[in-house]
Chains A and B, each alone.
Chain A
Amino acid sequence: QSVLTQPPSVSGAPGQRVTISCTGSSSNIGAGYDVHWYQQLPGTAPKVLIYGNSNRPSGVPDRFSGSKSGTSASLAITGLQAEDEADYYCQSYDSNLSEGVFGGGTKLTVL
């Protein structure tokens, strides 16, 4: 069980907005460590979607945005498209474990 908690699944219709939460604690997100988000399309390697809590790498559409507050972070996707159907993971660091940590992952289904 991961120290970063994500909902197992979320869904939305094309064009809608969805959010994915990532809940941590005072030893990881709450300690000030950055949160990063990865998108994993079926059968492919993950790719970074959001880094440093809210920054998008070049090439990532501005439909994707990230935020962080307290011991939690969120990924928002607006204008949902069929190609967004994928698994999404948050990542941070835990000072108690002295390990890099991932959330359990969230499967996004576009209805």
Chain B
Amino acid sequence: EVHLLESGGDLVQPGGSLRLSCAASGFTVSTYAMSWVRQAPGKGLEWVSTISGSGVATYYAESVKGRFTISRDDSKNMLHLQMNSLRAEDTAIYYCAKDRYYDFWNGYSDYFDYWGQGTLVTVSS
């Protein structure tokens, strides 16, 4: 059974950093693309970042490009999101999600077939 468990969410001051982690079980993270999706309080879903199954290709939303870094630890079957220069607008629940395919939107399709329960990141002074 596939299971995703996020951790690392916290209250952080503007300009600060935080590292989120996602422990995966029931599958191997290196065989699928993996993503982070966030949801600000009372708002809709926003795709944040994806790492391909190869681990070589990474993709970012414009809103986080240059500040966030997605990575993977295959030995621990984990996904990470390093978040720097945090802003108030980064406040959200961050979900770890497993992509259905190995590559990000290769072949004109990609979706998230499993989600974690989310971890809350609050950026405030």
A interface residue numbers (CB < 8 A to B): 2, 32-34, 36, 38, 40, 44-48, 51-52, 57, 87, 89, 91, 93, 97-105
Contact = CB atoms under 8 A, between A and B. Distances in A.
Q: Name the interface size band of chain B.
A: 20 to 34
B47 A100 contact: yes
A33 B109 contact: yes
A31 B44 CA distance: 24
A33 B61 CA distance: 18
Interface stretch (B9-17, B72-80, B83-91, B113-121): B113-121
Contacts of B112: 38, 46, 48, 91
B62 A97 contact: yes
A64 B61 CA distance: 30
B95 A45 contact: yes
26 contacts: A2-B44, A34-B108, A34-B109, A34-B111, A38-B112, A40-B45, A44-B117, A45-B116, A46-B45, A46-B115, A47-B115, A48-B113, A51-B100, A51-B111, A87-B44, A91-B111, A91-B112, A93-B108, A98-B59, A99-B59, A99-B62, A100-B47, A100-B50, A100-B104, A100-B105, A102-B47
B105 to A, nearest CB: 5
A110 B1 CA distance: 32
B45 A89 contact: yes
A3 B95 CA distance: 21
Contacts of B95: 45-46
Nearest to A8: B44
